Structure 1
Amino acid sequence: MNEVTGKPEMFLTVKLSENNLTFEPAWPPARQEDAMALPGIGELMSSTTRTYESFIQAAKPVSDLGSQKECKYYVRLASQIQDAVTSDRRRLTVENLFYKVEVRR
């Protein structure tokens, strides 16, 4: 959260496909040091294309820290999955860890 504006700052940009997802940093440059201090961030960022299971395992330490602080990190989410049921399931996988702002197709 930006302390001046009160608006959320994005943590990651996540792109969903049927069998895996890709992601990249979305945090503002001023938050680089904060991002690098997050638990497990090195492991998470070591591979930015992951299966959903691998993403959950690698991102869980960051999500857990948010829960301990009674907050959640935000991700920008874009789905490239055509099937609505599959897209919803994959989106919910990420939503269990982070708040999301969904990018329209």
Structure 2
Amino acid sequence: MGNSIKSAQFLIESRMARAASGSAEACFDLGVAYSCGTGDMPIDLIEAHKWFNLAALGGSEEGQAMRAEIAEEMTAREIAEAQRQARAWIALTQARAA
């Protein structure tokens, strides 16, 4: 159990760094991790939607499809929160790049 948590943490940390530099693939990978509960992580559809949304904004057709798929399982309030978090991520990464 401890190794799967460490593997999940490594996956998240490595993809976060790549996502911060604009990788749509890394954003998609993060969406998958949160939507499936990679390792022993709990499933978090808000985080998953956020990352799939960011992947879609980066041009990922898979990100668009997965965002639509999980949105069917979410409330309007959850989707709005995921979108708010995606906008905050964009603002943060743009501020760091400036």
More helix by share: 2
TM-score after normalising by structure 2? 0.32
Which one has more relative contact order, counting CA pairs under 8 Å at least 6 apart?
A: 1
Say which structure is richer in strand.
Answer: 1
> Given the two structures, how large is their TM-score scaled by the length of structure 1?
0.30
